[in-house]
Structure 1
Amino acid sequence: MIVVRMNLLILVTLIKLGEGTHAFLDLLKEAEYEPNSEPITFHRRGTSRPAPSDKLPVLDLIENPSSMFDPPESELNHRKLRKALGRDFDSEYMGIGRPIIAVFQPNGTVTVKKRKGRPKGRRPDYIQNVGKPIRYGNQMRLPGLNVNRRTKRKIKKYMWNYTHCPVVYAWKDLGIRFWPQWIKEGHCYNGRSCSIPPGMSCRPTGSETRTIFRWHCPLNKKGQLMKCKWIRIQYPIITECSCSC
């Protein structure tokens, strides 16, 4: 009992600090099957927000295979669950059934938002400096690119596109113990190095959370199954990646 409560306390602390994304699911699993555990409660909005890190996306949860921990058919009323989730239901990132795109593109799709042929968004500082004179302290100064403005724009656009890190979105089946069962996860594209010279790779730098339900089945001291119920959890999703070491 003491161990379980301490684990739950650590869980809430880690999430509030924006750390331990994997610990979030590990402790959820541990608390679920420990005797005399208490339901893990999360605030409806704004408190459980794991920060972006190399630990995203969330690893698969190793579930207890026993069907006793599955929600019964009577608890899988999609209309009722959809109403209970309310405004937290996001059809762009959540699917009650398997989305059709998950059938034809199971490995996901690359999302690159473009504007005038280059990635949309604020121009990185290093792109602004492309073509300018190169300095080595006060002892040496190499000249910049002696090209016209149009050519310089093309070079900057190419480097911006080359070093840009798109997000790859793929639908993931979380299993019957989560609702909605399907969630669209983000992954950083790593088909090649994003740096010149090669060596750096795309890593998560931005994430958002979505509220979903988790079927929670605690056990008492005797190892007997107590009343199960749906609880709200915050699921982190990668939304932005950048080139990094």
Structure 2
Amino acid sequence: PGPCPESRDPPSGTADPAAHLLRGRPSAPARPYSLSRSPEDYRYSPKPRHLKPGRLRRLLGSAFDRFWMATEEPRRLNGSLLEDDLESLSRDLAEGAGRYRRKLWRELEGLELPTLLPPGSGSPPELPGTLARRLRQWLVERAACRLTSAWVDLGPVFWPRWVRHTACDDGPPGCSWPPGMTCRPAQLTHIKLLAWHCWIPYPVVAACKCSCR
């Protein structure tokens, strides 16, 4: 890889203006996963002689991160696409998720919960406290906002060409009670990739939080 090619206008009919960001030095940071994966959107493409893994690995150096990137398509032994428990594979993601859960617990501990059992119901005295803890635990789990991921082939312009794309798990019925709040990105981090002919920061979603739309 060498200097970035000279900037030029995007081709007519290009739906996403981010598709031509790598034709010159971007004037604004790229949005997560907004760079085009189509080789037709770039002026140059590497030749096979340019794609020697050893040389590219040396160029990327310590920025190579096995959690976020792969030189070949990650697959299980049975051929299915690899799906991972993200927090078990990344200390940074696990620590971030742990901090968010502890924050939720602190907020819920200061929340006055409604009386779960009527007075004189004959229940053991410790039962209301147990039910309150379980209710708090349920609320924390509902609002935990976990990350999901999928491996995406960025094409021959990028190396490593396989990158883990993460997203906020936003399945129904939402992350709050009463419903109305959803899981949204709360933090971005940048991984470093090689691009022909550019070295670029590549933003990826690193954490989510429960918030209003």
Q: TM exceeds 0.5?
A: yes
What is aligned with 1:176?
156
Distance in 2 between the 1:112 and 1:170 partners?
A: 14
TM-score, length-scaled by structure 2: 0.69
Aligned with 2:135: secondary structure? helix
Equivalent runs, 1:153-168 vs 2, <5 Å:
153-168=133-148
Deviation at 1:242, TM superposition (A): 0.9
1:52-93 CA-partner distances (Å, limit 9, x unpaired): xxx64x135163538973210110001110011100000111
1:104 partner letter: S
**Cα–Cα, structure 1 residues 82 and 64, in superposed 2: closer, same or farther, change >3 Å?**
closer
1:162-187 CA-partner distances (Å, limit 9, x unpaired): 12200001111100100000011110
2:206 partner letter: T
Deviation at 1:111, TM superposition (A): 4.0
1:96 partner letter: T
Root mean square deviation, CA, Å: 3.5
Distance in 1 between the 2:116 and 2:146 partners?
A: 29
Aligned with residue 75 of structure 2, among 79, 96, 100: 100
What is aligned with 1:40?
25
**Cα–Cα, structure 1 residues 67 and 232, in superposed 2: closer, same or farther, change >3 Å?**
closer
**Cα–Cα, structure 1 residues 95 and 189, in superposed 2: closer, same or farther, change >3 Å?**
same
Equivalent runs, 1:97-176 vs 2, <5 Å:
97-101=72-76, 104-105=80-81, 108-109=83-84, 111=86, 120-121=98-99, 122-124=102-104, 125-130=106-111, 132=112, 148-176=128-156
What percentage of residue pairs aligned between the two structures are identical?
A: 26
Moved more, 59-68 or 201-210: 59-68
Aligned with 2:196: secondary structure? strand
Distance in 1 between the 2:43 and 2:20 partners?
A: 20
What is aligned with 1:28?
21
What is aligned with 1:238?
205
Distance in 2 between the 1:112 and 1:84 partners?
A: 29
Distance in 1 between the 2:45 and 2:7 partners?
A: 22
1:23-45 CA-partner distances (Å, limit 9, x unpaired): 7x44524xx2xxxxxx639xxxx
Distance in 1 between the 2:42 and 2:205 partners?
A: 31
2:98 partner letter: K
Distance in 2 between the 1:62 and 1:98 partners?
A: 15
Distance in 1 between the 2:41 and 2:132 partners?
A: 63
Distance in 2 between the 1:208 and 1:63 partners?
A: 24
8 Å contact 1:49–1:208 — kept in the other structure?
Answer: no
